[in-house]
Amino acid sequence: MASLPPIDLPSSATGAGAFDSPALEEGPALFEYLLRLGDDSLILGQRLGEWCGHAPSVEVDLSLANIALDLIGQATHFLGRAGEIEGKGRDGDALAFRRDVLDYRNCWLVEQPNGDFGRTMARQFLFSTWQKLLLRKLTGSADELIASVAGKAVKEVTYHQELAAEWVIRLGDGTEESRRRIGDGLAWNWRFVPELFEMDDLATFMAERGIGADLAALRPDYDALVSAVLAEATLEPPPDQRPILGGRRGHHSEHLGHLLAVMQFLPRTYPDAKW
Amino acid sequence: MVAAARLDETAPVWTVLDEVADPEIPVISVVELGIVRSVEPDRVVITPTYTGCPATQVIERDIRDALDAAGYRNVRIETALAPAWTTDWITPEGRAKLRAYGIAPPTRSAVECPQCGSADTEEISRFGSTPCKALWRCRSCAEPFDLFKCH
């Protein structure tokens, strides 16, 4: 796989005190980091939930819904902890349902529309492969909550990754149509991959403290895993495109707002509703 | 004999817990499933099976209700995430009950059909009716069955 040029952020986006990146302190930085972890899981869980009742077969329906459950379970832990760290009385639900789009810290990949099954599985494969490597690393996090959630979730995500990889292979090495669809799905999602490895000030700050992972260091393993699966699927890696960045700082595609409008409708319309 | 004394003291609580059924697989108790990690005079430590398992909250509520009903209102429930739950913690009794119920217990070797015992089986779907199960089929008796996934 061709490697992409290093990410070079404009200094205005990285300078301490800049709008996008205020000076880092341990507590607020951990809060932001937990939002990144939790929002990735929450948003992808919500996206996969959209397939419920619409998947090509009942087995696929079950798979996508169960992966969504695992992801939302991760989000519950990470966002719950984020609320405690913040100390302003917000719990996981408040963070999930009462933040607006600019306050979300997920990567662009997870908020992308499902498209067809090929595009959904391409996204799942690219994300779960990364998340598996990330969580494996985070099992050694200096933060006890992050380490224990990672220890549980890595087992589940390994399963997600295997399932997605099997589908990439089956579709790629399948019929003419399935091959075209998974190829299109990979090409669509490819430009969102570099963001997964972006080491901005916050990611560096957390990695230096042994709480977060050095994402850039995960890239070689990621490339090897992706290449191996694509080769088995008889697919060529899509050509590299200009990376799209910004999700970690609250800059999102137009799709996220629509997703939140659906996800947050009930709690916003009936605040504090219980059943 | 501190250990024996503690055992005596907590034994009735274990008995109560062993009657709390898993909400999704009601033939097996939360003790047999390995969810109860420890019992002390003033607290019960439990661990969730899967991160996103919807049964987790129901299980905690059921345990609370059972403790309250048995007069253990002062025993609190604590949740521990680490070490992560594993299917290795399902007891031998639990495994036998799963099989009798038609769910193949988790295994690292050949999957045996819980209906006829044949090892000539195949996976239909990596996910089944709950996060903890996969869907399998027996080639000998042609019955589909759930497999409790190794985790």
**pLDDT digit string (tens) for A37-91?**
999 999 999 999 999 999 988 889 999 999 999 999 999 999 999 999 999 999 9
- Residue A110: the pLDDT is 98
Cβ atoms of A193 and A182 closer than 8 Å: no
**Which DSSP string corresponds to B84-131?**
PP-GGGS-HHHHHHHHHHTEEPP-SSPPPPTTT--S-EEEEESS-SST
Candidate from A66, A76, A163 with C-beta closest to B131: A66
Over the stretch A201-219, which tens digit does the pLDDT of each residue have?
999 999 999 999 999 999 9
- Residue B7: the pLDDT is 59
Cβ-based contacts of A73 with chain B (< 8 Å): 48, 50-53
Residue A13 has pLDDT above 60, yes or no: no
Cβ A148–B81 below 8 Å, yes or no?
yes
Report the CATH fold assignment for B2-88: GMP Synthetase; Chain A, domain 3 (3.30.300)
Tell me how crowded residue A144 is: count the other CB atoms within 10 A of its CB.
11
User: Minimal Cα–Cα distance from B79 to chain A, Å?
Assistant: 12
Tell me whether B137 touches chain A (CB under 8 Å).
Answer: no
Stretch B18-26: mean pLDDT, rounded?
Answer: 93
User: Minimal Cα–Cα distance from A231 to chain B, Å?
Assistant: 23
Residue A105 has pLDDT above 70, yes or no: yes
Tell me whether B135 touches chain A (CB under 8 Å).
Answer: yes
Residue A22: pLDDT band with limits 50, 70, 90:
low
Residue A169 has pLDDT above 70, yes or no: yes
Using alpha carbons only, what angle is made at residue B37 by residues A78 and B150, rounded to the nearest 5 degrees? 75
Helix axes A26-49, A254-263, angle to 10 degrees: 80
β B121-125/B133-138 pair status: antiparallel
Nearest CA in chain B to A166: B126
A12 occurs within a structural domain: no
- List, in sequence order, every residue forming a beta bridge with B45; answer none if it has no partner: B38, B78
Stretch A94-106: mean pLDDT, rounded?
Answer: 97
Positive or negative, the Cα torsion across B88, A79, A243, A260? positive
Cβ-based contacts of A72 with chain B (< 8 Å): 52
Residue A18: pLDDT band with limits 50, 70, 90:
low
- Residue A239: the pLDDT is 94
- Residue A43: the pLDDT is 98
A263 occurs within a structural domain: yes
Q: Which long-range contacts (CB under 8 A, 24 or more apart) does B92-99 make?
A: B93/B32, B94/B28, B94/B29, B94/B32, B94/B33, B94/B34, B97/B27, B97/B28, B97/B32, B98/B25, B98/B27, B98/B28, B98/B148
- Residue B150: the pLDDT is 85
Domain holding A33, by residue range, is 25-269
Cβ B52–A73 below 8 Å, yes or no?
yes
Residue B92 has pLDDT above 60, yes or no: yes
Q: What is the DSSP letter of A217?
A: G
Cβ atoms of B105 and B95 closer than 8 Å: yes
- Residue A20: the pLDDT is 53
Stretch B87-103: mean pLDDT, rounded?
Answer: 95
- Residue B125: the pLDDT is 87
Tell me whether B27 touches chain A (CB under 8 Å).
Answer: no
Amino acid at A171: L
Stretch B12-25: mean pLDDT, rounded?
Answer: 93
Residue B30: pLDDT band with limits 50, 70, 90:
very high
Over the stretch A221-272, which tens digit does the pLDDT of each residue have?
999 999 999 999 999 999 998 999 999 999 999 999 999 999 999 999 999 8
* CATH code where residue A98 lies: 1.20.1260.10
> Any idea where the domains of chain B sit in the sequence?
2-88, 102-148
Cβ-based contacts of B82 with chain A (< 8 Å): 144, 147-148, 151-152
B6-35 CB burial, b ≥16 within 10 A, e <16: eeeebeebeebbbebbbbbbeebbbbbbbb
CA–CA distance from B10 to each of B18, B47, B67 (Å)?
12, 18, 12
User: Minimal Cα–Cα distance from A59 to chain B, Å?
Assistant: 6
Residue B123: pLDDT band with limits 50, 70, 90:
very high
Cβ-based contacts of B50 with chain A (< 8 Å): 69-70, 73, 152, 156
Cβ-based contacts of A131 with chain B (< 8 Å): none
User: Minimal Cα–Cα distance from B51 to chain A, Å?
Assistant: 5
Cβ-based contacts of B149 with chain A (< 8 Å): 159
Nearest CA in chain A to B133: A66
A28-66 CB burial, b ≥16 within 10 A, e <16: ebbbbbbbbbbbbbbbbbbbbbebeeebeeebbbbbbbb
Helix axes A58-86, A144-172, angle to 10 degrees: 150
Q: Whole-angstrom Cα distance, residue A78 to residue A263?
A: 18
A190 occurs within a structural domain: yes
Residue A17 has pLDDT above 70, yes or no: no
Q: Whole-angstrom Cα distance, residue A5 to residue A174?
A: 33
A84 occurs within a structural domain: yes
> In terms of pLDDT, which residue wins out, B127 or A256?
A256
As given in the structure block, the two tokens for residue A274 are 């219980």
**Nearest CA among B65, B59, B69, B70 for reference residue B36:** B59
A245 occurs within a structural domain: yes
Cβ B151–A155 below 8 Å, yes or no?
yes
β B76-79/B133-138 pair status: unpaired
How many percent of chain B have pLDDT more than 70? 95
Nearest CA in chain A to B151: A155
Cβ atoms of B131 and B52 closer than 8 Å: yes
Report how many Cβ contacts below 8 Å link chain A to chain B.
Answer: 72
Nearest CA in chain B to A148: B82
Q: Whole-angstrom Cα distance, residue A56 to residue A174?
A: 16
Q: Whole-angstrom Cα distance, residue B106 to residue A222?
A: 30
**Nearest CA among A65, A75, A113, A112 for reference residue A96:** A75
Cβ A59–B125 below 8 Å, yes or no?
yes
Tell me whether B95 touches chain A (CB under 8 Å).
Answer: no
Stretch A125-135: mean pLDDT, rounded?
Answer: 98
Cβ-based contacts of A63 with chain B (< 8 Å): 125-127
- Residue B54: the pLDDT is 79
Cβ atoms of A106 and A43 closer than 8 Å: yes
Look at chain A and report how many structural domains it folds into.
Answer: 1
A109 occurs within a structural domain: yes
Nearest CA in chain A to B81: A148
Q: Whole-angstrom Cα distance, residue A122 to residue A107?
A: 16
**Nearest CA among B52, B8, B70, B59 for reference residue B37:** B59
